[in-house]
């Protein structure tokens, strides 16, 4: 999922580069250019934050999955140790 966001972001950056050239030709005011650049940077940062959020969410779900699996495996180990002790008691 994260790779999709990175790919989309790279496409947007390529499109924005072409748009920047067109925008600079049409707008003469330096304030307008500065505002545009700030908005563009903010949009890029928002996309990065969203991609990072999705990555963290995925990592959390994996961590929870592994914790549950770890708990289950520990229970299995205890059960097997108990069975092994019982088997040793009855030769």
The answer to whether 47 touches 12, Cβ cutoff 8 Å, is yes
pLDDT computed for residue 51 by the predictor: 87
Q: What total of structural domains would you count in the chain?
A: 1
Domain that holds residue 11: 2-89
Could you please report the per-residue DSSP string of 52-90? Answer: HHHHHHHHHHHHHHHHHHHHHHHHHHHHHHHHHHHHHH-
In eight-state DSSP terms, residue 91 is: -
Q: Report how far residue 90's alpha carbon sits from residue 39's, in angstroms, rounded to the nearest whole number.
A: 77
User: Residue written as tokens 């390529």?
Assistant: 14
Residue 22 confidence class, pLDDT cut points 50, 70, 90 = low
Q: What is the pLDDT of residues 28-63, one digit of tens each?
A: 677 777 888 888 888 888 888 888 898 999 999 999
* Mean pLDDT taken over the chain: 81
């Amino acid at each position: 999922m994260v790779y999709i966001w990175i790919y989309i972001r790279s496409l947007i950056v390529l499109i924005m580069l072409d748009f920047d050239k067109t925008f600079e030709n049409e707008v003469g005011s330096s304030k307008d250019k500065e505002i545009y650049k700030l908005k563009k940077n903010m949009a890029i940062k928002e996309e990065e934050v969203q991609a990072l959020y999705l990555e963290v969410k995925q990592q959390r779900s994996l961590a929870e999955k592994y914790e549950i699996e770890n708990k289950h495996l520990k229970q299995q180990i205890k059960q097997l140790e108990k069975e092994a002790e019982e088997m040793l008691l009855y030769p």
